[in-house]
Amino acid sequence: MSKEPFKVAERYIQLKKHCVPKSWADSINLMNDMILMPVIVIFLFMLRQADVFFILSTVSRAYQTWSTFIEYTELRFEVQRMLLHTKMVGGPFIVTNDDTYMPYVLADAVVRTSTRH
């Protein structure tokens, strides 16, 4: 379990807004940055039609987007571990009406149970 559950919850909420967009346009933009543009760059590079700055900017953007997505995935598993821990100890001990802030509820349960021991 993470040593700082509230920091995990905060970062998870921030990244979820970026990695799980609510609009179709943002989803398409994300897929474009992660998959489509790198494929286009590889194709143009093989044809020797790609500009160096275009290649660098596309690779940089793809790397940044994939890094963010991988961090989000790791944090998602950490939040799932907090959920399992919360269920094992009989929680959650507080409630929220907004699912966006559920990671904070789980972090609270983890912190409360870890301070009891």
Q: What domain range includes position 26?
A: 5-112
What is the Cα–Cα distance from 98 to 9, expressed in whole angstroms?
14
Judged by phi (left if over 0) then psi (alpha if -120 to 50, else beta), residue 48 lies in: left
In a domain, residue 46? The reply is: yes
Q: List the pLDDT tens digit at each of the 117 positions of the chain.
A: 657 999 999 999 999 999 999 999 999 999 999 999 999 999 999 999 989 999 999 999 999 999 999 999 999 999 999 999 999 999 898 989 999 999 999 999 999 988 765
In a domain, residue 64? The reply is: yes
Give me the number of domains the chain comprises: 1
Give this prediction's pTM: 0.88
Q: For residue 89, what is the DSSP state?
A: T
In a domain, residue 54? The reply is: yes
In a domain, residue 97? The reply is: yes
In a domain, residue 117? The reply is: no
Q: For residue 35, what is the DSSP state?
A: I
In a domain, residue 102? The reply is: yes
Radius of gyration of the CA atoms of the chain, in A = 19
